[in-house]
Amino acid sequence: MNSYIYILTDSNRNCLHVGLTDDLEKAAKTYRELTGLFFDSPSSVSRLVYHEVLLNGEQALRRFKELSQYTRMQKERLIRRHNPNWLDLGIASPRSSTVPPGLSYRGRLAAVTSRAQS
C-alpha cells in the first residue's frame, strides 16, 4: 500500500505542516474542513503544496522524520522545485481559479508524482 508524505500551508504561506498518510485525498479533505486545527496558526492550513508517494511504510516514516527536521528554507526549496507557483494540489472547489478547468485531482496528483519521481 502506498504512503504519502505531504506539506500543507495556509493562504499566506506562514505555516508549513509536514504530514504522513495512506490516503492523501482524505487527508487533504480533512484539513480543508477542519478550520483552526493548528492552534499556532490563525488561518486555515489547508493548501496541499507538496507530496511524495512511497511504496513502503517504513520508508515513508523515515522520510517523514527527515522532512520534519528540515528548516523552513529547505522545505520552501523542496516545494519550489516541484511546485514553483505553490498551487494547491488538493481537491479544489469549482470556484477555485488555481486549477484549470478539466484538470481533475487525480490528474494533478499524477502530474506532480511523475515530476517528483524524475
Q: State pLDDT tens for residues 29-73.
A: 888 887 665 555 556 788 999 999 999 999 999 999 999 999 999
pLDDT class for 90, splitting at 50, 70, 90? confident
pLDDT tens-digit map of 97-108 = 333 333 344 444
Model confidence band, residue 83 (pLDDT cutoffs 50, 70, 90):
very high
- CA angle 56–25–88, rounded 5-degree value: 110
Q: Are 43 and 92 spatial neighbours (Cβ–Cβ below 8 Å)?
A: no
pLDDT for residue 67: 97
Measured distance CA(7)–CA(10) in Å, rounded: 10
d(CA 105, CA 25): 9
pLDDT higher than threshold 60 for residue 22? yes
pLDDT at residue 40 in the model = 54
